[in-house]
Amino acid sequence: MGRVFITIYFGRESAIFLKLTNIGMPSFELLAIICLIALAFGDLFVGVVNDAVNFLNSAIGSKVSSKKVIIGVAAVGILIGATFSDGIIEVARKGIFHPEMFGATEAIIIFTAVAFADIILLDLYSTFGLPTSTTVSLVFELLGAAFILALWKMGGISEAWTVINSESAIKIIVGIVMSIGVAFVAGLVVQFLTRLWFSFDYKEKFKRWGGVWSGIALSCLVLFVLMKGAAHASFMTGDVKEWIGAHTFGILGGAFVIFLVLSYLLMALRVNVLKLIVLIGTASLAMAFAGNDLANFIGVSVAGTHAFLGAELVDKLPTPTWVLLLSGIVMVIALATSKKANTVTGTSIALASHGKEVKSHWKTNGPVEKLADMVHAIYRGVVWLLPDFLVRAIASRWKIRTEKGADNPPFDLLRAAVNLMVAAAVISYATSQKLPLSTTYVTFMVAMGTALADRSWGRDCAPCRIVGVMTVIGGWFFTGIMAFVMAGATVSVLYLLKGWGLALLLAVVLLTVYKLAHVHEKRRL
């Protein structure tokens, strides 16, 4: 029987050459690479479905425009960001474990095992509408696969742990955990001050001061694009990054003046500046998502291919632009066609909305109700200590006016703009300080903080919101455990069964995705 041997070459001109020769049965490594390439497409689909909440939440929740326009704006950001993502793919290849401690076949086994585990895990979360971090899942899958394979080889826990790049892994995990609290507090404070300034009936006052606020918001988004979205673009050389770092305040000041003048000019022309900010912010977050999180979807496939070609994984290896662009196109298709993306986005919007529809999503319980009562009692105690005139003045800023019979959005454009501005600022600052974080965790917690500041957490629905938020956050921590265990299981199957293991895991993935699709359809009905 003839063997098909495929030589794949990533050339400087991003070309791909295939050479077919008839020399016997295909090897395990070749079959694994074929699976990795196929799994990369699947991972792109399930990954963007879960991460869509990062950049669609504010635009859809505020109903800034039609769904088609919002998806179109996000698609532009994704396609641009995808071509900027080459550098960050290095994290998937050598950021979590020391690749030089494994042979080429072993490295391929690790990357293939991670790809199998990732599709199952992310599709499971998306089916139940729970946003999670693709960064956390990738980190713990790489940890689990590398550690368990080393355990099989070396036999001892202490010996196996030597293959882990513990300093890098711990830095990533600590940064991600810290970002949860920072994002929530930042969203809470900025939204409180913004609402105190403009109130819910903000249109008249926005005509006077909206240009100043818009200048600040748009300046944050510009810094975000430079620091995070375009951080890995070819034009962002070391000198350019150093110059931006040295002149950050000058860039912000210049951008503020320009956007200040431009905002007042647009308002004079009766252009809704808030809509513009939300759409620009959506494109910016989508760009950063594609530029940074693309590694979570195709990083292991690219790394596995390089290992198959005999490249030294400790060196910096380029990814062809056409591969990145094709990945961006696949993500756009998934974003436009997937029903699960709506489910995941709906969870965040329901938890952040002014309405009481959150009660239909989450059921409360006794301990949570007591917790809500305790927090409410503390809040009432603080209010009692404040002067009456101050309490009345603050309360007047939070009077919500809804139009009867109108299709009121879950939250207004002002809060949507704050969500995007604060998330951009937090992520930009963390990036400038070289602190790793999860964009999913930041955007979700900012949205929860702004919702609390807007008094969306009323006494009647606060317990349900607490249950919902605790469920999502609990799912985040459970993501790490599940990812480690699942990747450990898949790497064991591949290490022990080789080709038969590939066939078994492929069947498991196909069956799982099929079953989860049916579960999702039943939940939607």
From the list 426, 462, 434, the residue with the least C-alpha distance to 54 is: 426
- List pLDDT tens digits, range 192-231: 999 888 888 888 888 888 889 999 888 888 877 776 656 5
Which range (29-43, 161-175, 250-264) has the least confidence? 161-175
Q: How far apart are CA 469 and CA 463, in angstroms?
A: 10
pLDDT of residue 162: 86
Q: Considering only 110-124, 140-154, 353-367, 415-429, which range has the smallest mean pLDDT?
A: 353-367
Q: What's the pLDDT band for 261 if we cut at 50, 70, 90? A: very high
Q: How far apart are CA 267 and CA 272, in angstroms?
A: 7
**pLDDT for position 109:** 93
| Average pLDDT taken over every residue of the chain | 80
pLDDT of residue 483 exceeding 90: yes
pLDDT for 120? 93
- pLDDT for position 250: 85
Task: Looking at 312-361, list the stretches that DSSP marks H as alpha helix, in order from N- to C-terminal side.
Answer: 321-337, 340-352, 358-361
pLDDT band with cut points at 50, 70 and 90 for residue 128: confident
- Model confidence at 305, pLDDT cuts 50, 70, 90, reads confident
Q: 56 pLDDT exceeds 60?
A: yes
What is residue 1's predicted lDDT score, i.e. its pLDDT? 36
To 10 degrees, the CA torsion angle through 491, 493, 495, 499?
-120
Of the chain, the percentage scoring pLDDT greater than 70 comes to 82
The pLDDT of residue 18 is 39
pLDDT, average across residues 23-36: 78
- Split at pLDDT 50, 70, 90, the class of 12 is very low
Q: b/e map of 356-372 (b: 16 or more CB within 10 Å)?
A: eebeebbebeeebeeeb
Report, as an integer, the average pLDDT of 74-79. 89
Confidence bin at 2 (pLDDT 50/70/90)? very low
Q: What is the mean pLDDT of residues 345-370?
A: 72
List the single range of 239-253, 363-377, 417-431 with lowest mean pLDDT.
363-377
Instruction: Look at 317 and 420; give whichever has higher pLDDT.
Output: 420
For the chain, give every domain's residue range: 32-203+287-400+411-524
Give me the mean pLDDT over the 420-434 stretch: 78
Closest by alpha carbon to 275, among 156, 420, 475, 164? Answer: 420
Between 63-72, 320-329, 410-419, the lowest mean confidence (pLDDT) is in 320-329
Residue 257 has a pLDDT of: 92
Confidence band of 385 (pLDDT split at 50, 70, 90): confident
More confident call, 10 vs 460? 460
Pair of tokens at residue 68: 């088609």
Dump pLDDT digits (tens) for 328-342.
Answer: 899 899 888 888 888
d(CA 422, CA 187): 6
Which of helix, strand or coil describes residue 403? coil
pLDDT at 210: 87
Give the separation between CA 108 and CA 321, rounded to whole angstroms.
23
Write down the pLDDT at residue 161. Answer: 86
The 8-class DSSP code of residue 97 comes to B
**pLDDT band, residue 88 (cuts 50/70/90):** very low
149-153, 201-205, 319-323, 363-367: the lowest-pLDDT one: 363-367
Q: How far, in Å, CA of 48 to CA of 205, rounded? A: 38
Q: Which residue type is seen at 399? A: K
Q: Count of residues for the chain?
A: 525
